[in-house]
Amino acid sequence: MTGDSVPELPEDSWASSPGTRRSMQSNKGRDTKPELALRSAAHALGLRYYVSKRPIPAIRRTADLVFTRARIAVFLDGCFWHVCPDHFTVSQTNPQYWAEKAAKNRARDRQTDRLLQEAGWAVLRVWEHEDPHQAAARLKDLYDRRNATRRDRNAR
pLDDT in tens, 79-123: 877 778 787 667 778 888 888 988 999 999 999 999 999 999 999
- 29-155 has which fold? Endonuclease; Chain A (3.40.960)
For the chain, the structural domain boundaries read: 29-155
Q: Are strands 63-67 and 122-127 parallel, antiparallel or unpaired?
A: unpaired
Residue range 120-148, pLDDT digits in tens: 999 999 999 999 999 999 999 999 999 99
For residue 64, CA distances in Å to 2, 8, 13 come to: 41, 34, 28
